[in-house]
Amino acid sequence: MTLFPEMITNALGTSIIGRAMEHGLIGLHAVNIRDYTLDKHKRVDDYPYGGGAGMVMQAQPICDCYQAIREEISKKQGRKARSPRVIYLTPQGQVFHQKMAEELAQEEELIFLCGHYEGIDERALELIVTDHVSIGDYVLTGGEMPAMIMIDAISRLVPGVLNNKESAEFESFQDNLLEYPQYTRPEEYEGKRVPEVLLSGHHAKIEAWRREQSILRTKERRPDLLSQAKLSEKEQEWLKRWEDVDFVL
Ligand code: SAM
């Protein structure tokens, strides 16, 4: 639900998400809230009660737009249709993270509500929103980019969307660790060689090296994550040896 549907369809209609839509693995409908306003001038916003700067999006077009979407879903799914979760993109929400993406990827239908201007009349939020989600502690001009970020992160977890299933299974945030460094051809670039172990063909050694790199990288860049990672006793011992080492990864 947006005032700028073309922004969403243009951006998400390309690349991996676009291909997934073409293959019918996911569906995306950017619905224009303005189509549901009862105002003869097609207005969807008004001045805030109590004064103050900016405009506020009105409840009526948003709630009517939501009802129309629900009816569409019911027609499609028949009696088994459940009320879909409605996610309001807002800097006041819980900050989005990978676990949330994994959880939302299990849902059949999701509705994203994009605000603009000073935000949305609180009554509409009370009536239809189930989740308040932020993409970070900063304020943007609208909810479209946050919605696209969420849609991208969630869609790539839907089975079949990525060609190589492994690439979604072993990457940053898995077990609260960041991914190890990746290399591709050539073996040497600007005097920098690919780590020898990756050329060895020795799978166990490669796995061990990658695990170590993940742990070290997380320690350096995201120590907050590392404290929640599950490390074996051996790994914890090994990590202690790095405690006083200053390194740049
Ligand atoms: N006045 C609101 C406040 O202080 O909470 C901010 C409104 S913001 C200018 C306009 C819209 O952008 C919001 O309704 C929301 O949909 C979206 N938005 C802005 N920052 C966001 C963020 N960090 N995460 C998610 N959505 C955001």
pLDDT at 166 exceeding the cut of 60: no
Task: Note whether 233 and 139 are same-domain residues.
Answer: no
Q: Are residues 115 and 195 in the same domain?
A: no
For residues 211-232, average pLDDT? 95
Question: Average pLDDT for residues 9-23, to the nearest whole number?
Answer: 95
Q: How far is the CA of 53 from the centre of ligand 1 (A)?
A: 15
> In the beta sheet, which residues pair with residue 189?
192
Residue of 188, 167, 189 lying closest to 179 (CA atoms): 167
Residue 161: inside a domain, yes or no? no
Ligand 1 atom nearest to 139, measured from its CA: 20
Per-residue pLDDT, averaged over 74-80, amounts to: 84
CA of 10 to the centre of ligand 1 (A): 21
Contacts of 195 (CB under 8 A, 6+ apart): 183, 209
21: tokens are 């839509």
Q: For residues 110 and 189, state if they share a domain.
A: no
61 and 99 share one domain: yes
What is the residue with the minimal CA distance to atom 19 of ligand 1? 140
Nearest CA to ligand 1 atom 21: 91
Question: Is residue 164 one of the residues assigned to a domain?
Answer: no
Q: Virtual CA dihedral for 88, 93, 94, 98, nearest 10 degrees? A: 40
State yes or no: pLDDT of 241 exceeds 90.
Answer: no
C-alpha 141 to ligand 1 mean position (Å): 7
Residue 225 is part of which domain span? 170-249
User: Band of the pLDDT at 80, cuts 50, 70, 90?
Assistant: confident
Last residue of a domain, one of 123, 155, 187: 155
| Domain end point (choices 124, 155, 186) | 155
β-pair partners for 142: 116
Q: Say if residue 4's pLDDT is above 60.
A: yes
* Residue 165: band (very low, low, confident or very high) from pLDDT cuts 50, 70, 90: low
Q: Coil, helix or strand for 2?
A: strand
Site to substitute for ligand 1 among 33, 56, 57, 89, most atoms within 8 A of C-beta = 89
Residue 163 lies inside a defined structural domain of this protein: no
For residue 37, being part of any structural domain is answered with yes
| Cα 90 to ligand 1 centre (Å) | 4
- Nearest ligand 1 atom to the CA of 96 is 24
Q: Is residue 202 part of a domain?
A: yes
Which pLDDT does position 62 carry in this prediction? 98
CA distance 55 to 118: 6
Q: Report whether pLDDT(249) > 80.
A: no
Count of structural domains within the chain: 2
Query: Within this chain, do residues 78 and 140 fall inside the same structural domain, yes or no?
Result: yes
Confidence tier at 243 by pLDDT (50, 70, 90): confident
Question: What's the CATH number where 180 sits?
Answer: 1.10.1270.20
3-state secondary structure of 217: helix
Whether 112 and 216 map to the same domain: the answer is no
Task: Give the pLDDT score at 81.
Answer: 75
Domain match, 14 and 124 both? yes
CB 143 less than 6 A from any atom of ligand 1: yes
Last residue of a domain, one of 155, 188, 209: 155
Q: By percentage, how much of the chain surpasses pLDDT 70? A: 96
What is the predicted pLDDT for the residue at 88?
98
61 lines ligand 1 (CB under 6 A): no
pLDDT, average across residues 93-97:
98
b/e sequence 221-236, b meaning 16+ C-beta within 10 Å: ebeebbeebebeeeee
Same domain as 13, residue 106: yes
* Interval 181-191 mean pLDDT: 98
Query: What is the rounded average pLDDT for all residues in the chain?
Result: 94
Report how far ligand 1's centroid is from the alpha carbon of 144 (Å). Answer: 10
Best residue among 134, 140, 151 to mutate for probing ligand 1's pocket (most ligand atoms within 8 Å of CB) is 140
Tell me the pTM: 0.93
**Which residue's C-alpha comes closest to atom 13 of ligand 1?**
115
Tell me the CATH number at 95: 3.40.1280.10
In a domain, 176, yes or no: yes
- Residue 78 pLDDT exceeds 90: no
